[in-house]
Amino acid sequence: MYYRVLSDEHPFFCVLFGILKICPYGVDIPGNFAYYNEAVNTHILPLPEKGTPEYAEKKQQFADGLRKALPNVEAWARSCADCEECLPKCPQSIRIPNQMARIVELLRKR
């Protein structure tokens, strides 16, 4: 199984399969990518405009789904310390900290 990573226009594929743990902080990189992609495929993402009534509902759906998909909070994207230790280990040169930051940004309260 491959996981498409955070881009509908130019998909990347995570080939780590959840087996290889490359984050010293415990972030489940493939799991975060997989949930993000599931949210795109089920039309939770992209989020509607902030001013629309659907925005808060979709954002909450995304947060609830993440909690269900990754029950261990240490595995969430927010645990990424941007240390970049994952970068040389990624066989596809995906800018993993940047992608984790995108997930975190979706969950910010505003």
Compute the radius of gyration of the chain from its Cα atoms.
Answer: 14
Residue 12 is predicted with a pLDDT of 47
Interval 73-80 mean pLDDT: 93
Interval 19-43 mean pLDDT: 85
User: How would residue 14 be classed by pLDDT, with cut points 50, 70 and 90?
Assistant: low
Residue bearing tokens 């795109």: 40
CA 68, chain centre distance (Å): 13
Residue 103 is predicted with a pLDDT of 92
Contact call for residues 30 and 6 (beta carbons, < 8 A): no
